[in-house]
Amino acid sequence: MFLNNPKADENTPRYAKQVYAGSFHVFGHGGCFGDVGHCDVPAHRRENDLRLPHPLTPRDMNVTITEALRNQLRKSPEIHVTVVPVVMEATEKCDLTKVLKFKRFEILTYK
């Protein structure tokens, strides 16, 4: 995740604390290799189902970006966030245009 660097991509150095804010990791499986419906996320779970959630269930991710955000706010009150998905090993079943999607994106600050 980069701040105020709209041209950031997977080759952008991550050591520049003024623009690199942090990262999160999602371990996927690169496409479904099972029968039709094998990788469909169930619409609901039984009340006492103790299994882990389906691996493709959407999840909340938190990234602490305090230092990078402070650095950018000293320069400008406007912040642009660039999230760069990096796929380590793509297969023909991996749709790179749908690797990452957001239902909601928030930056929370506290005094």
For residue range 38-52, what is the model confidence (pLDDT) as tens digits?
A: 788 888 888 898 988
Residue 47 in domain: no
Tell me the pTM: 0.71
The percent of residues in the chain predicted with pLDDT above 70, rounded, is: 87
Domain with 24, as residue range(s), is: 1-33+61-111
Domain count, the chain: 1
For residues 4 and 20, the answer to whether their CB atoms sit within 8 Å is no
Rg of the chain on CA atoms, in Å: 18
Q: Is 44 a domain residue?
A: no
Mean predicted confidence (pLDDT) in 60-78: 91
